[in-house]
């Protein structure tokens, strides 16, 4: 009940708000993403935004990380190639200008909005599942030692990218991807 009652929401507002957030993030960074600014840019008002998202960080999160990070992830080659794909995909997702601008603010707001925490790590759920399967196969095939854990591995990749984005932006080039991949492959050797 209740799901179909009431006036339906104007679907254009949601899209306009998400686009406005992305534009503001790209232009002025997280500090420029104000509720009033988003509303003005989206051609709507603040209450309309608060009806759709509990707070600004939720809207920013949805704008900067619209879906699963593993969307285009391809696994199935040899382990090194697959790991390079995960590293590169994570790097690309978090180093995207919009995402990079949003990330520090979002990570800070996690303290205030616990539900954001679940939403953010959920973005990695698909990657984790597929990486976990791949790693099991690698263990079976003798490509990786038996103590290897996908959660540790993914945390290592994500941590490297996040700390790179936050502290040393611009250094996460393709050479870095290769170096990190090589390091991970070495660490997995039986």
Partner DNA sequence: CACTAATCGAGACGGTACGTCGCGTCTTGTG
Partner DNA sequence: CACAAGACGCGACGTACCGTCTCGATTAGTG
User: Could you say which of a copy of itself, DNA, none residue 10 binds, taking C-beta under 5 to 8 angstroms by partner kind?
Assistant: DNA
Residue 108 in contact with residue 92, Cβ under 8 Å?
no
Interface residue with a copy of itself, options 110, 137, 139, 150 (CB under 8 A):
110
For residue 76, give both structure tokens: 């199935």
Q: Which of residues 14-33 bind DNA (CB under 7 A)?
A: 33
Residue 175 has a CB neighbour count (10 Å cut-off) of: 9
Alpha-carbon dihedral angle through residues 155, 106, 123, 97, given to the nearest 10 degrees: -90
Show the binding pattern over residues 25-44: x = contacts a copy of itself (CB under 8 A), - = does not.
----xxx-------------
Note whether 60 binds a copy of itself by CB under 8 A. Answer: no
Which part of the chain contacts DNA (CB under 7 A), choosing from 19-27, 41-49, 133-141, 164-172?
A: 41-49
Note whether 175 binds a copy of itself by CB under 8 A. Answer: no
Residue 111 has a CB neighbour count (10 Å cut-off) of: 9
Q: Which of residues 45-84 bind DNA (CB under 7 A)?
A: 45-48, 50-52, 55-57
Residue 47 has a CB neighbour count (10 Å cut-off) of: 10
* Residue whose token pair is 């205030």: 112
Query: Measured in whole angstroms, how far is the alpha carbon of residue 31 from the centre of its chain?
Result: 19
Which part of the chain contacts DNA (CB under 7 A), choosing from 36-44, 133-141, 155-163, 171-179?
A: 36-44
Note whether 119 binds DNA by CB under 7 A. Answer: no
Interface residue with a copy of itself, options 80, 117, 126, 130 (CB under 8 A):
117
User: DSSP assignment, residue 31?
Assistant: G
Q: Which is nearer to DNA, 54 or 159 (CB)?
A: 54
């Amino acid at each position: 009940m209740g799901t179909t009652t009431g006036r339906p929401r104007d679907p254009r507002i949601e899209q306009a708000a998400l686009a406005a957030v992305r534009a503001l993030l790209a232009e002025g960074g997280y500090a420029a993403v104000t509720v009033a600014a988003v509303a003005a840019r989206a051609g709507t008002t603040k209450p309309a935004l608060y009806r759709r998202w509990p707070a600004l960080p939720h809207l920013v999160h949805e704008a900067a990380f619209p879906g699963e990070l593993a969307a285009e992830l391809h696994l199935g080659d040899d382990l090194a190639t697959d790991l390079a794909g995960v590293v590169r995909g994570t790097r690309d997702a978090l180093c995207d200008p919009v995402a990079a601008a949003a990330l520090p603010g979002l990570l800070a707001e996690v303290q205030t909005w616990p539900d954001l925490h679940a939403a953010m790590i959920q973005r990695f759920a698909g990657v984790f599942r597929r990486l976990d399967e791949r790693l099991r196969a690698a263990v079976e095939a003798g490509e990786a030692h038996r103590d290897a854990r996908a959660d540790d591995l993914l945390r290592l990749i994500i941590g490297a990218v996040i700390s790179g984005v936050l502290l040393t932006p611009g250094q996460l080039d393709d050479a870095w991807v290769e170096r990190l991949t090589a390091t991970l492959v070495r660490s997995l050797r039986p």
